Structure 1
Amino acid sequence: MADRFLHALLFISVSLLLVISSAAASSDAPFIVAHKKATLKRLKSGAERVLVTIDIYNEGSAAAYDVTLSDDSWPEEAFDVIDGKTSNSWERLDVGALVSLSFELEAKVKGKFQGAPAVIKYRVPSKAALQEAFSTPLFPLDILEDRPPEAKFDWVSDFAHSYYTPH
């Protein structure tokens, strides 16, 4: 009997938790998701550039207002901003909307670098304080590292070798 009582109590507790969490999830609020990505571009001069793009999505059920994005993870002693800017703002980010920020940096130093997440701040009409969200972080980048040359036609030579080699 005590076993049935505990099972019933557990069932009621889990049901209540699900009801409360679904009510919280369906409330009118923005839900900001941000993805930060970077690609390296080696120049013929031996320099290397970092192309950064940050996409911000509003996956919530209400608009976000006074949205600002700031990516201060690129130290001036290691990178020069070549094109674009590392911060931006938007008046409103509607439900289901996407905005992007892109910029290009030139690396000044050699070595591994891992950028911190970008910071997104936004206002929700029902709350007095600014809300904050973070983008995904970057995987470590090997800036100006020696890379073996790409063999674009290895599959051709492998095929030719296997086809013309006597068995």
Structure 2
Amino acid sequence: MANPAMEVALISVIVALFLVSATFGSSDAPFIVAHKKVSLNRLKSGAERVSISIDLYNQGPATAYDVSLADDSWTQNVFDMVSGNTSKSWERIDAGSLVSHSFVLESKVKTMFYGAPAIIKFRIPTKAALQEAYSTPLPPLDILADRPPEKKFEWAKMLTKYGSLVSVISMVVLFVYMIATPSKSGAVKGCKKRR
């Protein structure tokens, strides 16, 4: 189960990003929003594979030039690089465009890892200094944690959670169907009376 405090913090960050994007939407500058995602995959060898993906969106009306991404929070004493690189650069990201970068790490150390946001630097033609943006933060990663086996479908939980909702919706749909479609016996009687 997810930590409620972490969910509230993540929702707050997303709302803040949307408010800031609305504020800067009227200016003629690029506005970079970066979303960092991670997935954990336990390997049979006693290691855990960590797949990181970072999506960069240019929500502003102008092009961002000389864009560089650096995600250096992955310590080398905990993680080994499997594929990709923790940094990437693009010549430009046009207005309304999306670019992605991903890499894969592996860890054999059991730990709780707190990663920092990725740092994005870009140039705006009207300003001399490089602009900086940050990706969304990651929740703490419990590397090689003891997890109970997950069941594909837990019918009992789904039935208790959604059963009453499904029954109410099906009754409403059945009632509307009965009202909307004419009765066949009534239609036959109406035809006989007209003759």
Q: What is the CA–CA distance in structure 1 between the aligned matches of 2:39 and 2:153, rounded to whole Å?
A: 23
Matched, 1:29 2:33: no
Pair 1:109 & 2:109 matched: yes
Instruction: Give the letter aligned to residue 92 of structure 1.
Output: R
* CA-atom RMSD in angstroms: 2.2
Who is 2:149 aligned against? 149
CA distance in structure 2 between the partners assigned to 1:43 and 1:121 by the alignment: 35
SS at 1:62's partner residue?
A: coil
Please say if 1:131 is aligned against 2:135.
no
Structure 1, unaligned runs of 5 or more: 1-21, 160-167
Asked if 1 retains the 8 angstrom alpha-carbon contact of 2:25 and 2:61, the reply is no
Provide closer, same or farther for how the CA distance between residues 133 and 83 of structure 1 changes in structure 2, counting only shifts above 3 A. Answer: same
TM-score, with structure 1 as normaliser: 0.77
Structure 1's 26 and 134: CA in aligned 2 closer, same or farther, altered over 3 A?
same
SS of the counterpart of 2:155? helix
Partner of 1:45: 45
- Normalized per residue, the structure richer in helix is 2
Higher relative contact order (CA 8 A, sep 6+): 1
Name the CA shift for 1:92/1:153 in 2 (closer, same or farther; >3 Å): closer
Larger of the two Rg values belongs to structure: 2
Equivalent AA in structure 2 for residue 97 of structure 1 = S
Between 146-155 and 66-75, report the one with greater CA deviation.
Answer: 146-155
Distance 1:152 1:23 in 2: 44
Q: Is the 8 A contact 2:46 2:108 kept in 1?
A: no
Q: Which amino acid in 1 is paired with 2:76?
A: E
- Mapped partners of 1:145, 1:138: distance in 2: 17
User: Counterpart in 2 of 1:89?
Assistant: 89
Runs of 4+ in structure 1 deviating by more than 3 angstroms, as ranges, are 22-25
Aligned letter for 1:124? Answer: I
Asked if 1 retains the 8 angstrom alpha-carbon contact of 2:24 and 2:60, the reply is no
Contact 1:77–1:108 (8 Å) recurs in 2 = no
Q: Secondary structure at the match of 1:54?
A: strand
Q: Deviations over 1:3-28 (max 9, x none)?
A: xxxxxxxxxxxxxxxxxxx9964221
Instruction: Within 5 Å, give how 1:9-28 maps onto structure 2.
Output: 25-28=25-28
Structure 1 or 2: more strand by fraction: 1
- 2:86 aligned partner, one-letter code: T
Counterparts in 2 of 1:106 and 1:125: CA distance versus 1, 3 Å: same
Per-residue deviation, 1:67:
0.1
